[in-house]
C-alpha cells in the first residue's frame, strides 16, 4: 500500500523544494509551475483521497479542506502579485509555512488513518485517478 503514500510524499517534496528555491534565490519566476502542481495535487486529494477518509475522521478531513482553502487563497494572491513586488517572496514564505504544517499533519495523521481504511484495490484506484488527472492537467 505504499505506492499512494510515496506518490503524495513525492509531490509534497517537489513543491516544497521549488518554493524553497524561489525563496532562497528571491526569484518567483517558477511560481506558475508550482501553482499548477498544487492545483492538480489539491484537486486530486479533494476528489479521490479525502472523501474515502471522511467517515473515519470527519473533523480531520474538514480541517484538511480548510487548510486547502487557505493555501488556494495564498496561491491566488501570489499569482496576482507582480513578480517584482516586494510582497511576493514574503507571501511565498507564508505559503510554504502553511503547506509544511498541512503536509506534516497529512503525512502522519491522515496517512495513518488511510492505512486503516484503504484496501489495496482502493489505493490502486486512487493512484490511477491521480495519474489520469495529472496527465490531463499538467
pTM: 0.92
**DSSP-assigned letters across all residues of 66-92:** HHHHHHHHHHHHHHHS-TTSTTHHHHH
Going by C-alpha positions, the residue among 66, 18, 8, 62 that lies closest to residue 40 is: 8
Q: Where are the domains of the chain?
A: 2-137
**Where is pLDDT greater, at 49 or 56?**
49
pLDDT at position 1 over 60: no
- Specify the pLDDT at position 55: 87
Largest CA distance in the chain: 48
Q: Show Cβ contacts of residue 41 under 8 Å, excluding neighbours closer than 6 positions.
A: 8, 11, 15
Proportion of the chain above pLDDT 70, given as a percent: 99
Tell me how far apart the alpha carbons of residues 104 and 19 are, in angstroms, rounded to a whole number.
16
pLDDT average, residue stretch 35-42: 96
pLDDT at position 31 over 60: yes
pLDDT in tens, 60-116: 999 999 999 999 999 999 999 887 889 999 999 999 999 999 999 999 999 999 999
Amino acid at each position: 500500500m505504499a505506492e499512494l503514500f510515496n506518490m503524495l510524499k513525492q509531490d509534497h517534496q517537489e513543491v516544497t523544494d521549488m518554493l524553497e528555491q524561489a525563496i532562497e534565490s528571491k526569484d518567483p519566476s517558477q511560481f506558475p509551475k508550482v501553482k499548477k502542481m498544487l492545483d492538480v495535487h489539491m484537486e486530486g486529494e479533494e476528489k479521490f483521497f479525502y472523501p474515502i477518509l471522511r467517515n473515519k475522521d470527519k473533523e480531520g478531513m474538514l480541517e484538511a479542506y480548510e487548510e486547502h482553502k487557505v493555501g488556494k487563497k495564498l496561491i491566488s494572491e501570489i499569482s496576482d502579485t507582480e513578480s517584482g513586488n516586494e510582497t511576493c517572496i514574503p507571501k511565498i514564505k507564508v505559503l510554504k509555512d502553511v503547506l509544511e504544517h498541512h503536509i506534516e499533519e497529512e503525512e502522519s495523521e491522515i496517512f495513518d488513518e488511510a492505512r486503516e481504511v484503504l484496501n489495496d484495490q482502493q489505493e490502486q484506484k486512487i493512484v490511477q485517478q491521480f495519474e489520469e488527472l495529472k496527465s490531463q492537467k499538467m
